[in-house]
Amino acid sequence: MTDDLAVLREMRDKALEGGGAQRIQDQHDKGKLTARERLSLLLDPGSFQEIGALATHDCTDFGMDKLRYPGDGVVCGFGKINGRRVAVFAHDFTVLGGSFSTVQSQKICRLQDLSLESGIPLIGLNDSGGARIQEGVRSLAAYGEVFTRNVLASGVVPQISVVLGPCAGGAAYSPALTDFVVMTRRTSSMFITGPEVIKVVTGEDVTGADLGGSVVHNSRSGVAHLMAEDDPQALELVKLLLGYLPQNNTEDPPQVAPYDPADRMDEELNHVVPERDDVPYDMKEVLTRVFDRDSFLEVSPYYARNAITGFARLDGWPVGLVANQPAHLAGALDIDSSDKIARFVRICDAFNVPVVTFVDTPGYLPGIDQEHYGVIRHGAKVIYAYCEATIPKVSIVTRKAMGGAYLAMSSKQMRSDLAFAWPTAQIAVMGADGAVRVLHRRALLAAPEAERPALEAKFTREYGLLFLNPYRAADVGQIDEVIEPRETRPRLVRAMEVLRTKVQQNPPKKHGLMPV
Ligand code: HXC
């Protein structure tokens, strides 16, 4: 027995060493932590329960029989984050570049199965050179097993990917199939084909960072949703994010003890919207004043900045926030912001997080590129996501809600439960300038040229008085109540109290056909 224990301990110690001291030093020199260091920062102390620590590959090609490391380049297991159970894997880049093998796949798949069966979130810490070249097609098939489980778990348990190093080829697709991707600013990258291959195939010169770095994926491609300065901050973001999500789709997200008075009014809100309707303001100021103090976590803050998505708390309960951002592109909806909103609403719906929508948009963005690249299809995703969602949905029109964008942004007709408007709201088919030119074109043309500006101003004034207010919509029941901006928080708290037990179902079907 003593000998047996000694063997076990020796193997365990070897597993803890990863690729050895020099490679650990290399990892640190690159500004990255090792897999085990990352896990110890992420998980509650002493909570990690490892599985598959002694597994090794059986590949013999390319001298691989001499390169066997216990664990085979991925550390897998269970642990707790703030007392909540999670399943987690972490690529060990110090072992064969974290490259993905059949054994890695078996370990991760086992974890995915257990996470799904037990209904607990799955977190992946990615740092991998992609499919292990020495294993050939076997490593491709191995990825397929992981992807399948990512898809089956989608919408059942939260899946969060943290990209902390290179994620090449197949290593990029698994994160792309998960709900949230967090990347470190300088040390991470994701691409399907790397700079060298691109150079050969297309002749283009590009660096890894410019091709698939964190800034690119957070601001241009939309593949990543959060950016961190370094490994510790990325892991903190995971903990924050998890705080707004339930363990699985059968549970409600966790409430924290309320710490901000539910009936708190904010006088400043009465002055946020500028007098002139063409002057921008920062919608984030509205959000931070309405929801629980310091509870706002923006998701995708650098991508499609004309829309805001994120989580916050209201009286301690997590809510999803969607808003137009008048400070960027006047808050118009375009292709990217439509994708961003639709995806976020669907995530909230999958995980029982109510959505509050703040509306100030002049409509869908006009433009040839927008039309040619499919703003109709992408814009339809917003409508689809809101209509399909059965979670509590409340909207507040702060200023413009024009045309199709009024409908798309959580209007009552899109199965919103309650619709509020501030007195500054303008709910109409279109803005005054466009409407006057259509309605009064003949009268304006008939008038002497010198009189046209005054006549146009008169028509615009008349249109504004008639249509650019919330009262017509309130009159016909499209708005439930016009409220003072300062009372938005207490109104929302009461609305959510009522809606917390809402039950709504969609017709049975295999799945809908979202316009992807
Ligand atoms: C086997 C790999 C590997 C891989 C890296 N290594 N990637 N071994 N298979 N895919 C090994 C290296 O040989 C090296 O071993 C060690 O890991 C560290 O790698 P370095 O290159 O020294 O590190 P670095 O300079 O930081 O560069 C990291 C990297 C680079 C950017 C990831 O290694 C790289 O470009 N790798 C290949 C990436 C790639 O094209 N993957 C796509 C695979 S195809 P030694 O012993 O020399 O230190 C794929 C398709 C799946 O994934 C499709 C599914 C749908």
Q: Encode pLDDT of 196-227 as tens digits.
A: 889 999 999 999 999 999 999 999 999 999 99
Q: Is 473 a catalytic residue?
A: no
- Whether residues 190 and 107 share a domain: the answer is yes
- Whether residues 375 and 454 share a domain: the answer is no
Q: Quick check: CB of 256 below 6 Å from ligand 1?
A: no
Task: Note the pLDDT tens digit of each residue in 121-161.
Answer: 999 999 999 999 889 899 899 999 999 999 999 999 999 99
19 contacts 96 by C-beta, under 8 angstroms: yes
Local confidence band at 62 (pLDDT 50, 70, 90 cut-offs): confident
The answer, yes or no, to whether residue 170 has pLDDT greater than 90, is no
pLDDT at residue number 434: 87
- Whether residues 367 and 334 share a domain: the answer is yes
pLDDT at residue number 2: 78
Q: Is 464 a catalytic residue?
A: no
Neighbour-count burial of 290, counting CB atoms closer than 10 A to its CB (0-12 exposed, 13-18 middle, 19+ buried): buried
Whole-angstrom distance between the N-terminal and C-terminal Cα of the chain?
60
Task: Note the pLDDT tens digit of each residue in 262-274.
Answer: 999 999 999 999 9
In the set 404, 434, 447, 464, the catalytic residue is 404
Determine how many CB atoms are found less than 10 A away from the CB of residue 72: 29
The answer, yes or no, to whether residue 67 has pLDDT greater than 90, is no
Report yes or no on 374 lying in a domain. yes
Nearest to residue 184, comparing CAs of 158, 206, 159, 217? 217
User: Which sign does the torsion angle of CA 473, 478, 481, 483 carry?
Assistant: negative
Domain extent for 342: 267-429+469-499
Report yes or no on 23 lying in a domain. yes
- CA distances from residue 14 to 11, 71, 297, 480 in whole angstroms, order as listed: 5, 9, 40, 65
Local confidence band at 193 (pLDDT 50, 70, 90 cut-offs): confident
The answer, yes or no, to whether residue 423 has pLDDT greater than 90, is yes
Q: Is 404 a catalytic residue?
A: yes
Q: How far is the centre of ligand 1, averaged over its atoms, from the C-alpha of 137 (Å)? A: 16
pLDDT at residue number 261: 98
Q: How far is the centre of ligand 1, averaged over its atoms, from the C-alpha of 168 (Å)? A: 8
pLDDT at residue number 12: 83
Q: How far is the centre of ligand 1, averaged over its atoms, from the C-alpha of 205 (Å)? A: 20
Task: Note the pLDDT tens digit of each residue in 219-259.
Answer: 999 999 999 999 999 999 999 999 999 999 999 999 999 99
The answer, yes or no, to whether residue 38 has pLDDT greater than 90, is yes
Question: Residues of 121-156 as b/e, b for ≥16 C-beta within 10 angstroms?
Answer: bbbbbbbbbbbbebbeeebeebbeebeebbeebebb
Q: What percent of the chain has pLDDT over 90?
A: 86
Report, as an integer, the average pLDDT of 508-514: 96
Report yes or no on 504 lying in a domain. no
Q: How far is the centre of ligand 1, averaged over its atoms, from the C-alpha of 129 (Å)? A: 4
Report yes or no on 512 lying in a domain. no
**Which ligand 1 atom sits nearest the alpha carbon of residue 189?**
31
pLDDT at residue number 162: 98
Report, as an integer, the average pLDDT of 424-428: 95
**Which ligand 1 atom sits nearest the alpha carbon of residue 139?**
51
Greater pLDDT, 28 or 467: 28
Task: Note the pLDDT tens digit of each residue in 281-309.
Answer: 999 999 999 999 999 999 999 999 999 99
Q: Quick check: CB of 253 below 6 Å from ligand 1?
A: no
DSSP bridge partners of 104: none
- Whether residues 326 and 458 share a domain: the answer is no
Local confidence band at 391 (pLDDT 50, 70, 90 cut-offs): very high
- Whether residues 96 and 217 share a domain: the answer is yes
Q: How far is the centre of ligand 1, averaged over its atoms, from the C-alpha of 106 (Å)? A: 20
Local confidence band at 17 (pLDDT 50, 70, 90 cut-offs): confident
Local confidence band at 362 (pLDDT 50, 70, 90 cut-offs): very high
Question: Residues of 292-303 as b/e, b for ≥16 C-beta within 10 angstroms?
Answer: beebbbbbbbbb
SS3 content of the chain, % helix, strand, coil (to 5): 45, 20, 35
**Which ligand 1 atom sits nearest the alpha carbon of residue 67?**
46
Report yes or no on 249 lying in a domain. no
Phi, psi of 373 (to 5 degrees): -85, 5
Orientation angle between helical segments 375-388 and 335-350, nearest 10 degrees:
20
The answer, yes or no, to whether residue 322 has pLDDT greater than 80, is yes
Q: Which of 22, 99, 126, 190 to mutate to test the pocket of ligand 1 (most atoms within 8 A of CB)?
A: 99
pLDDT at residue number 91: 97
The answer, yes or no, to whether residue 90 has pLDDT greater than 90, is yes
Full-model pTM: 0.95
Report yes or no on 128 lying in a domain. yes
Q: Quick check: CB of 99 below 6 Å from ligand 1?
A: yes
- CA distances from residue 110 to 51, 117, 124 in whole angstroms, order as listed: 9, 11, 13
- Whether residues 25 and 146 share a domain: the answer is yes
- Whether residues 422 and 462 share a domain: the answer is no
Tokens of residue 177, six digits: 């199939």
The answer, yes or no, to whether residue 1 has pLDDT greater than 80, is no
**Which ligand 1 atom sits nearest the alpha carbon of residue 197?**
40
The answer, yes or no, to whether residue 8 has pLDDT greater than 90, is no
Q: Which of 30, 133, 140 to mutate to test the pocket of ligand 1 (most atoms within 8 A of CB)?
A: 133
The answer, yes or no, to whether residue 319 has pLDDT greater than 90, is yes
Q: Where are the alpha helices (DSSP H) in 359-508?
A: 368-372, 375-388, 403-408, 432-439, 441-446, 452-467, 471-475, 488-499
Report, as an integer, the average pLDDT of 391-408: 95
51 contacts 107 by C-beta, under 8 angstroms: yes
- Whether residues 182 and 323 share a domain: the answer is no
DSSP bridge partners of 89: 76, 124
Q: How many domains does the chain have?
A: 3
Phi, psi of 309 (to 5 degrees): -130, 150
pLDDT at residue number 470: 94
Quote the CA–CA distance of 128 and 330 in Å, as a whole number.
41
Q: Quick check: CB of 302 below 6 Å from ligand 1?
A: no
pLDDT at residue number 69: 84
Local confidence band at 329 (pLDDT 50, 70, 90 cut-offs): very high
pLDDT at residue number 59: 82
pLDDT at residue number 431: 87
Tokens of residue 404, six digits: 């199709």
The answer, yes or no, to whether residue 65 has pLDDT greater than 90, is no
User: Of all protein residues, whose CA lies closest to atom 1 belonging to ligand 1?
Assistant: 132
Q: How far is the centre of ligand 1, averaged over its atoms, from the C-alpha of 96 (Å)? A: 8
Q: Quick check: CB of 166 below 6 Å from ligand 1?
A: yes
213 contacts 233 by C-beta, under 8 angstroms: no
pLDDT at residue number 61: 84
240 contacts 297 by C-beta, under 8 angstroms: yes
Find the farthest-apart pair of alpha carbons in the chain and give their distance in angstroms, rounded.
106
SS3 for 326-373 is CCCHHHCECHHHHHHHHHHHHHHHHCCCCEEEEEEECCECCCHHHHHC
- Whether residues 421 and 473 share a domain: the answer is yes
In degrees, rounded to 5, the angle at the alpha carbon of residue 305 between the alpha carbons of residues 301 and 308 is 65
Q: What SS3 class is residue 474? A: helix
Report, as an integer, the average pLDDT of 327-353: 98
Local confidence band at 14 (pLDDT 50, 70, 90 cut-offs): confident
In the set 312, 323, 405, 435, the catalytic residue is 405
Residue-averaged pLDDT of the chain: 95
pLDDT at residue number 490: 98
- Whether residues 487 and 374 share a domain: the answer is yes
The last residue of a domain, from among 227, 242, 257? 242
In the set 18, 124, 165, 170, the catalytic residue is 170
Report yes or no on 247 lying in a domain. no
DSSP 220: I
Report, as an integer, the average pLDDT of 385-398: 98
Determine how many CB atoms are found less than 10 A away from the CB of residue 258: 14
Report yes or no on 510 lying in a domain. no
Quote the CA–CA distance of 147 and 108 in Å, as a whole number.
11
For 55, half-sphere exposure in the C-beta direction (CA atoms, 13 angstrom radius) is 19
Q: Quick check: CB of 73 below 6 Å from ligand 1?
A: no
DSSP 409: T
Nearest to residue 408, comparing CAs of 333, 354, 308? 333
Q: Quick check: CB of 96 below 6 Å from ligand 1?
A: yes
Q: Quick check: CB of 379 below 6 Å from ligand 1?
A: no
**Which ligand 1 atom sits nearest the alpha carbon of residue 193?**
40
**Which ligand 1 atom sits nearest the alpha carbon of residue 147?**
55
Q: Is 130 a catalytic residue?
A: no
Q: Which of 69, 96, 147 to mutate to test the pocket of ligand 1 (most atoms within 8 A of CB)?
A: 96
User: Of all protein residues, whose CA lies closest to atom 35 belonging to ligand 1?
Assistant: 129
Question: Where residue 417 sits, what CATH number does that domain have?
Answer: 3.90.226.10
User: Of all protein residues, whose CA lies closest to atom 12 belonging to ligand 1?
Assistant: 97
Local confidence band at 3 (pLDDT 50, 70, 90 cut-offs): confident
Q: Where are the alpha helices (DSSP H) in 154-220?
A: 170-176, 195-202, 208-212, 214-216
User: Of all protein residues, whose CA lies closest to atom 7 belonging to ligand 1?
Assistant: 129
- Whether residues 458 and 492 share a domain: the answer is no
- Whether residues 271 and 388 share a domain: the answer is yes
Quote the CA–CA distance of 392 and 228 in Å, as a whole number.
31
Q: How far is the centre of ligand 1, averaged over its atoms, from the C-alpha of 193 (Å)? A: 12
